[in-house]
Amino acid sequence: MIFLDNAGTTKMFEECVKTYSFYACQEYFNPSAVTRKSTQVFSALNETRNYILKKLGACEGTIIFTGGATESNNLAIKGSMRGGDNEYVFSSGEHPSVLNVAKNLAQQGKNVHFAKLGKDGRVDLEDLKSKLNEKTRLISIIFVSNETGAVNDIKKISAIRDKFAPRALLHIDAVQAFMKIPFQVEDLKIDMLTFSAHKFHGPKGVGGLYVRKLSILKNIVDGGGQEYGLRSGTENVPAIMALKTALEKIDVKKNFENVTKLKEKFNQTLLEESGIEVLDFKGSPYIESLIFKGVKGETILHALEENGVIVGLGSACSSKKQGNRVLEEIGIKKEDIVSSCRVSFNAYMTEEEVVRAGEIIIEVYNDIKKRVS
């Protein structure tokens, strides 16, 4: 099997499995207890927090461990809300775990605005400016689109925030960016940042929220007061420590260069078939979309799986819904959207794999076209 849906999830490193097993079966102690063993586990968690801060390039701040990106995004948005005449700004290209929170806030009568996307798949900065003012409390923007791979210019966005909404907090959904593309939160002036372990070969069910200052947030769930009172509940120690193991294995720059080469090789293979269009937004090398002229994307997806290649239809959190709002937002024709699939790579694939995947895609596409024509 050749797996080309790495934006949906990634295979966990074997080393992570070993770490998980160690903390699940040997060092399984509750970090909130006061025994010596529990204290050691608590210290290991804090060492992991500091390690993540270094990976993020943060000179200050805290890591709140969560159950994954959806929880982190909810905590960032809902936990930073305050009373009064505040306004909240999002892009229309957000992941469902942000977009649906924003829509719910709007339904509750909150002042919510959505900045549109440009044809390049990125946030339209002029439109973003028009949505900001002195009442803006929060700006929440996805770093790398999980649908197209388009990369938003967070440095420019933070500069726009400073000029047009200086009191606003900046939250970044970096699920498709952290440990995949180089960046430093200090350089980008980010207040909160979301990440998820299973997007970079760690375990599912664990993620985190970087918070520049704890005073930014209030808890949204009451409990025993773990995670600085912001995320109560016993920490998922095995998964957190396995997350750290994944971080230790990854060389972001080296992987970025490798995936860039893999995608170029893959796209060169597809050039042999004129009926397949590559939607490459020149953003993250990890993600792109393909349009199969005259054939439904879902038909291609199932046929490819039968032939040993797995691709995606976009966000796994909304893949059962019709259409693709992000592609529609940037002006892709509806008939092309129906014919689209998302492919996403990881840095540990081989050139032989991506070339063979491209060949199989061409074979499957041509076979389906013959049968439906």
State pLDDT tens for residues 48-62. Answer: 999 999 999 999 999
**How many residues in the chain?**
373
Percent residues over pLDDT 90 in the chain: 92
324 or 32: which leads in pLDDT? 32
- Region 213-221: what's the mean pLDDT? 95
Given a cut of 80, whether residue 274 has pLDDT beyond it is no
* Neighbour-count burial for 253-287, b at 16+ CB within 10 Å, e otherwise: eebbebbeebbebbbebbeebeebbebbbebbbbb
pLDDT band at 319 (very low <50, low <70, confident <90, very high): very low
H or E segment at 309? strand 309-310
Q: Is the domain 2-9+251-372 a CATH 3.90.1150.10 member?
A: yes
Q: Is the pLDDT of residue 322 over 60?
A: no
Q: State pTM to two decimals.
A: 0.95
Predicted confidence (pLDDT) at residue 160 exceeds the cutoff of 50: yes
Q: What is the pLDDT of residues 80-105, one digit of tens each?
A: 999 889 999 999 999 999 999 999 99
| Helix, strand and coil in the chain, % to nearest 5 | 45, 15, 40
Q: Where are the alpha helices (DSSP H) in 85-124?
A: 96-107
What average pLDDT does the segment 310-320 reach?
66
Closest by alpha carbon to 171, among 149, 154, 146? 154
How high does pLDDT run on average in the chain? Answer: 95
Whose structure tokens read 């041509």? 366
Instruction: At 210, list the tokens.
Output: 């970087």
> Cα(245)–Cα(20) distance, rounded to whole angstroms?
9
| pLDDT over 60 (residue 320) | no
Residue indicated by tokens 């599912």: 204
Parse the chain into domains and list their residue ranges: 2-9+251-372, 14-249
With 0-12 / 13-18 / 19 or more C-beta atoms within 10 angstroms meaning exposed / middle / buried, residue 194 is buried
Kindly list the catalytic residues.
Answer: 317
- What backbone torsions phi and psi does residue 322 show, to the nearest 5 degrees? -75, 145
The predicted pLDDT at position 333 comes to 92
CA distance 74 to 70: 6
Model confidence band, residue 123 (pLDDT cutoffs 50, 70, 90): very high
Written as six digits, the tokens of 276 are: 């397949």
- Of 177, 179, 185, 180, residue with least CA distance to 152: 177
pLDDT value of position 332:
92
Task: Write the class of the CATH domain 14-249.
Answer: alpha beta
